[in-house]
Each structure stands twice: as C-alpha cells, then as structure tokens.
Amino acid sequence: MQHKNVKLCIAHYRRMQPMFLKIKSLVEEGTIGDIRFVQLHLLQSSSANLIARSEENWRINPAVSGGGLFHDLAPHQIDLMLYLFGMVKQYSGTALNQTRASQEMTW
C-alpha cells in the first residue's frame, strides 16, 4: 500500500493446509463446476472470543495491532480467495461493529 506508506504481510503458508489444497484441486479440475460467484463471511459473537483470546485483546487495539481485527484477519481471507479463484472482477464489502467491542475505524 504505497499511498499509505505501510507494508501488507500475509501468512501464505495457509494456502498449503490440506483443506485449502483440496478446495484448490476441486476448483482447478472443474469438479464443482464453473465458479461464477464467491461470498465470504467472517462472523464471531462477542461472547465467543474465538479469534482473539487474551487478557487484553490486542487485536482490536489499533495502536498495537496496526488496525484492528480487519487488518489482522482480512488479508488471510482475501489472499485465499485470490489463490483459489483468481483475480477479482468485481467486489463489494460491508463492515459492521454491532457490539461496539472495538474502536471505530475510519477509512
């Protein structure tokens, strides 16, 4: 992200996990047909705390994490979608902070 003068890093090792390798082979072999639409949802209830479990939830503190849960988790999801399905032709997105458990982000 040159215009913001920051680095974006992604844990590409996730691509080699057996589940994602299987999905990749199904897509490449055409086993599941022509992929025309992909929809990704990342959901977590505020009480579950499955994604970020610690005394102080550093992932939702932009001063420590660099931007909160979106910056921590979304690059992995986006990278996997590009790896599995190729370049994006059209996209849209929505972000909700229904519990106000994390700080508001401005874009």
Which amino acid, residue 47?
S
Two tokens, residue 70: 């979106």
Q: pLDDT, tens digit, for every residue of 35-51?
A: 988 888 776 665 555 55
Query: For residues 78 and 62, what is the distance between their CA atoms, to the nearest angstrom?
Result: 20
**Confidence at 68, pLDDT banded by 50, 70, 90:** low
Q: Where are the domains of the chain?
A: 2-35+56-85
CA dihedral 22, 24, 30, 35 (to 10 degrees): 120
pLDDT value, residue 30:
95
Tokens 């909160």 — which residue? 68
